[in-house]
Structure 1
Amino acid sequence: MGHFDRTICDCCVCPMQCVLEQLVGETIRVATLVGVIDNVMLLDVKSFIASTSEGELPICNISGVEFIGVDIALALKPIQKSTGKCSCCEGPITNLANSLIGQIVDIEFINFIGSGRIRDVGEGIICFQDFVISSCFTTKIIPVASSVSLSERTNSSFWSRET
């Protein structure tokens, strides 16, 4: 998983880069601040840029990544005590998600909503079965009372655009 010095990019961008490095060569779906890029081949990841078959994406603008059909157990950066902006944004939502591991949640991030069972949580990353969301872009987590996730209830992929 790459090593990064302490920079402003630590709490969300570095962990997302580490996740993306593990998905190089795979076809993924990427949620950004402005929309979704479907079925894009991830070619390379370095210097906070994800090189894809659709162009170069700054990792700081990636809010989530779906990797359906990819058989991988992602290694996440361990949760660390956050400082600066990370301590008031990333830290609390990461800690909340960590307390919900194993539970099904509806989760909003920027202009999208997804649903699933939280599988793992690392620094800046909330991991589901075949999807990760950046903690910094998470706007709401709602524990689901039933054992059926939104995607199973609506027969859709992990996330959909909010209306």
Structure 2
Amino acid sequence: MKLSKIKKIIGAGASTMMIAAAIPAVASAADQQTRGNIGGYDYEMWNQNGQGQASMNPGAGSFTCSWSNIENFLARMGKNYDSQKKNYKAFGNIVLTYDVEYTPRGNSYMCVYGWTRNPLMEYYIVEGWGDWRPPGNDGENKGTVTLNGNTYDIRKSMRYNQPSLDGT
């Protein structure tokens, strides 16, 4: 799947391009995790239990990644506004322009990802997926929205006793 210079407007506190092989769980001491900042962009690679082969090569505003024989893997890059401790409305619209080449194999997906506070909400804008279409049958269907010729399903699901920006 090739998406060329798609512009998204998001009113939110943190935005990240993410490629994941599954939804991440809580990090443990056995996990392989790399975080950093390059060219003003925050990046993270996480490989649950350090299994298989996983790599991420970050650049200033871009990255490549690959994985095989993993349990659960995440690679992401973007802006982290969390340190500013502002309500998401204080940021106004955040415009993301990105170009991605994503070749899904197995259970993986490519999305824009972030969190808001007050209300505490985790969101995914899923652009492409492999064998499993997130969020599966989970949650309540809230309708669809069309942006730049792409149609997105809106789903709401509640998470209880799960990790978040503000603890469990």
Normalized per residue, the structure richer in helix is 1
Query: Normalising by the residue count of structure 1, what TM-score does the alignment of the two structures yield?
Result: 0.30
Normalized per residue, the structure richer in strand is 2
TM-score, with structure 2 as normaliser:
0.29
